[in-house]
Amino acid sequence: MAGDAVGSFPDGAAENYFVALQELVNKVHEKWVDGPYPFNDLAIADVQEFLTLLERACPRSPERDRRPN
């Protein structure tokens, strides 16, 4: 774990997780409500909004970009 960023995942792991989560949500929604549930679309919008707010709160600076990870 030395040298890894906190919360880092192997390449593709996050995408695989969300694909599996979407499949699960669709199956549950199909059984109880009928039809797929657009979880990923909603999650993507939430992530984009969060990142926009985070960037506004913590603007990049040359000093911060030079710090070691």
| 14-56 confidence digits (pLDDT tens) | 888 888 988 998 899 899 998 888 776 777 788 888 888 888 8
With respect to residue 63, please indicate whether it lies within any of the assigned structural domains: no
Task: Kindly give, in sequence order, each residue whose CB lies less than 8 Å from that of residue 22, ignoring residues fewer than 6 positions away.
Answer: 39, 40
Identity of residue 63: E
Instruction: State the pLDDT confidence band at 64, using cuts at 50, 70 and 90.
Output: low
- pTM of this prediction exceeds 0.85: no
For residue 25, what pLDDT is reported? 87
With respect to residue 4, please indicate whether it lies within any of the assigned structural domains: no
Residues spanned by the domain of 30: 13-58
Q: What is the DSSP letter of 4?
A: P
| Domain count for the chain | 1
With respect to residue 26, please indicate whether it lies within any of the assigned structural domains: yes
